[in-house]
Chains A and B, each alone.
Chain A
Amino acid sequence: MRVWLGLVLALLLGLAVAACAGALWASPADIWRALSGDPSMASRLLVEWRLPRVLAAALVGALLGLGGTIYQGVFRNPLAEPYLLGSAGGAAVGATVALLVPLALPQSLLLPVLAFAGAWGATMLVLGIARVAGAVDAAGLLLAGVAVAAILGALRSFLMLALSDETVSLQVVMSWVLGGIQTPSWRGIALLAAIALGCLGLSLLFARRLDLLGLGETMATAFGLDTRRVVAEAVLAGSVIVAAAVAFGGLVAFVGLAAPHIARWLVGPLHKPLLPASALVGAIVVTLADAIARAALPPAEIPLGLVTAIAGGPFFILLLARRLRT
């Protein structure tokens, strides 16, 4: 119970700090004034731009935490990440098309839809390859995922080179590929919050089955689990969650890796507490990382993906080293 209270308090504190942080720092009193309906320009900027952005960062972080936990549960590997299965790479290709190809539909609709189509398509491709190769186990999937991710990365670069001209700026795609929370309207925030809650519910449906999967193929089967089916279904659920995160936050590296780790230290490895805890940790991490992205080098903004990669890369290496030593 104390852990949960601590996590919620840490999130509230993180949100408060992030609300103050920016190219122009605001004091907590400024935030309070803005929230209580002050009509000044500074207050309106805070309410219409900064606060939605802060909340969006937290929600994207929660989605990344959930997605990462599912992927680690499926691969039974604490080093697994949504990006390793090609789902983030697929989402990126879909989003690149949405950003660069002039299609009849509005971009705000096209981007999440194509991102999901890309994530799902890439995941199905990975599953298909692993199945044809006769290795639908964790290692086979992981290797197929690495190969597909590499191909998709090349495809995305090619699309960027081939489709850009004077009318569409690569800058938009680049800033998105490097990860950056879009600033949504308050209606957008409501939608994102609903999606995040839905994803939490979806992932909790898998909690017990992911626990059993963690006992190993043999014990999981002996305990009545259809491991193949659970792997396929959980990967699908994971790619829905990753697509949602990618649609709203671009490619943000390492949060999906780090959040479940930190959460596991706090609440243990059973997935029923682990999933919500990972969502909270992810929310805290991305809220703070996004605050750094906005405030570190004013007036410029550092892409969020760079902040998380610089912080998360060493974390990954540390974990890898510890794992290799034991």
Chain B
Amino acid sequence: MSSLAAESLTVKRERATLIDGVSLSLGPSGSVAVIGPNGAGKSTLLRTLAGVDTPTSGCVRLDGQDLAGLASAERAQSIGFLPQTFEPHWDLSVADLLELGAARATALPADAVAKAKRTFELLGLEARRWSTLSGGERARVLLATVLVVDPPVLIADEPSAALDIRHRLETIRTLAARGSERLSVVVVHDLDLAFRFFERVVLLVAGKVVADAPAHDLIHDPCLDEAFGVRFERLKLDGRWLLRADS
């Protein structure tokens, strides 16, 4: 179990401020959805939290230790990062990718790779090359590659955006479920999925955290309407609140 904290995180690129003084305290367990309109800085925030990008000022702390001062191998073992898009330059096989993912860990249980294959239904797919996989298979392979070392922190940048509804539901459910024992921070585009599966929702607008609250509270907050520039109708269906957007 690990906790992750952002302290006055600011990221500037070419004079544009992408992340503007964000402070967040995350974990050690829980599922957190990050939502916000296009260009809010969600991807940048997640990449910085994962240590893939370095902040212009402020810092990210993993269990109190500044990521910038942490050995990159240690960071790679503790924080799993699922990028928005993934296209390997070589046509690796499923087994190759799992091997590269597993190599991050200094010590791994002997059955870790086999377990990842079972969990993500990759048995029989080991020899298949990346270029021959379907979108759903690719998503499962990527999840397995990142999660084979079972990192205490998972940071996922909307990996399900290109998937059909069934695979999308499966992926989001898997990511959110990790929050029961570990920390799972996920950019989610579909607001209903965010409010339905995640405990906590962080609303990001123009690089700033506008709201950070339990999902069942935030769904009623009028700041949602303002952030997305629409009028939401809150509908109650089978005891669950749903959002319907109107311009």
Contact = CB atoms under 8 A, between A and B. Distances in A.
Given A222-B50, A268-B93, A216 B88 contact: yes
A230 B104 CA distance: 16
B208 interface: no
Contact of B90 (A218, A224, A226, A269): A269
Nearest to B99: A270
B180 interface: no
Interface in A223-244: 223-226
A215 B72 contact: no
Given A214-B88, A215-B88, A223 B100 contact: yes
Contacts of A270: 92, 96, 99
A164 interface: no
A260 to B, nearest CB: 11
Interface string B91-121: 1110010011101100000000000000000
A211 B100 contact: yes
B68 to A, nearest CB: 13
A215 B76 contact: no
A219 B93 contact: no
Contacts of B80: 222
A221 B96 contact: no
B171 interface: no
A106 B93 CA distance: 51
Nearest to B74: A224
Contacts of B81: 218-219, 222
Nearest to B127: A268
A212 interface: yes
A170 B99 CA distance: 53
A211 B101 CA distance: 11
Interface string B159-188: 000000000000000000000000000000
A224 B50 CA distance: 11
B183 to A, nearest CB: 16
Nearest to B97: A215
A135 to B, nearest CB: 14
Contacts of B50: 222
B92 to A, nearest CB: 6
B96 A269 contact: yes
A213 to B, nearest CB: 8
A221 B89 contact: no
Given A219-B83, A222-B52, A212 B100 contact: yes
B75 A224 contact: yes
Residue from A77, A215, A216, A225 whose CB has the most chain B CB atoms within 10 Å: A215
Contacts of A268: 92-93, 96
Nearest to B84: A218
Interface in A267-324: 268-270
B87 interface: yes
Contacts of B91: 269
A208 interface: yes
A222 B72 CA distance: 8
Given A222-B83, A223-B104, A214 B89 contact: yes
A264 B129 CA distance: 13
B200 interface: no
Contacts of A218: 47, 52, 81, 83, 86
Given A208-B103, A218-B83, A224 B88 contact: no
Contacts of A225: 72
Contacts of A223: 76, 100-101, 104
Nearest to A264: B90
A65 B51 CA distance: 35
A307 B165 CA distance: 56
A221 B52 contact: yes
Contacts of A221: 51-52, 72
B103 A216 contact: no
A211 B100 CA distance: 8
Contacts of B90: 76, 214, 264, 269
Contacts of B87: 216
A222 B146 CA distance: 9
A270 B103 CA distance: 13
B16 interface: no
Residue from A219, A225, A268 whose CB has the most chain B CB atoms within 10 Å: A219
B77 to A, nearest CB: 7
27 contacts: A76-B90, A77-B89, A208-B103, A211-B96, A211-B100, A214-B89, A215-B89, A216-B86, A216-B87, A216-B89, A218-B81, A218-B86, A219-B86, A219-B88, A221-B52, A222-B79, A223-B104, A224-B73, A224-B76, A225-B72, A226-B72, A268-B92, A268-B93, A268-B96, A269-B90, A269-B92, A270-B96
Interface of B: 47, 50-52, 72-77, 79-81, 83, 86-93, 96, 99-101, 103-104
Interface of A: 76-77, 208, 211-212, 214-216, 218-219, 221-226, 264, 268-270
Given A218-B86, A222-B52, A269-B92, 10 more contacts: A211-B96, A215-B89, A215-B100, A216-B83, A219-B88, A224-B73, A224-B75, A224-B76, A269-B90, A269-B91
